[in-house]
Chain A
């Protein structure tokens, strides 16, 4: 992202799979951190520590990145962002997505884990198109 500073925007949608234990709670945790202005810090911590994303671990990560742990825990336990997550999931189903991560780069769909170089190439193509 730093390579394209100012030119590229990254947007995250949650698509937690039903049959995975901690997908939902991890999505809640990311948005709860966002409420405290630390979405990206939590996002990075979750990716680094996946799949260790049980409730106790999430609370530990919240403490580590300096969140108000009480507010964070209340938010996660109360599933405060359930409606937002459901909205993302509904969108994913409408788009017929069956895999994560799935990327849309100016609407161009890229399915699954890809090397950074591959995504970079598409972003560069799109930047070139946009400038013409």
Chain B
């Protein structure tokens, strides 16, 4: 039971860490829509097929 609790705690910690992590992805010369100084930038990696 104790082990299970520790595992759960670790899992919660891992999830909240993942939620906070921010990646730096360069925009470069990729196609873009919307202003360069937008408050939010959404970068999408796409496979059309």
Residues of A within 8 A of B (CB): 1, 4-17, 20-23, 26-27, 30-31, 34, 39-40, 43, 46-47, 50-51, 53, 84, 87-88, 91-92, 95, 97, 100-109, 119, 123, 126-127, 130-131
Q: Which residues of B contact A47 (CB under 8 A)?
A: 48
**Size bracket, chain B contacts:** 20 to 34
Most A C-beta atoms less than 10 A away, residue of B23, B32, B40: B40
Number of A-B contacts (CB under 8 A): 144
Residues of B within 8 A of A (CB): 19, 21-36, 38-49
Q: Which residues of B contact A106 (CB under 8 A)?
A: 22, 40-41
- Whether A11 and B32, one on each chain, are in contact in the complex, defined by CB atoms closer than 8 angstroms, is yes
- Whether A30 and B42, one on each chain, are in contact in the complex, defined by CB atoms closer than 8 angstroms, is no
- Whether A1 and B40, one on each chain, are in contact in the complex, defined by CB atoms closer than 8 angstroms, is no
A97 to B35, CA, bound (A): 26
- Whether A101 and B42, one on each chain, are in contact in the complex, defined by CB atoms closer than 8 angstroms, is no
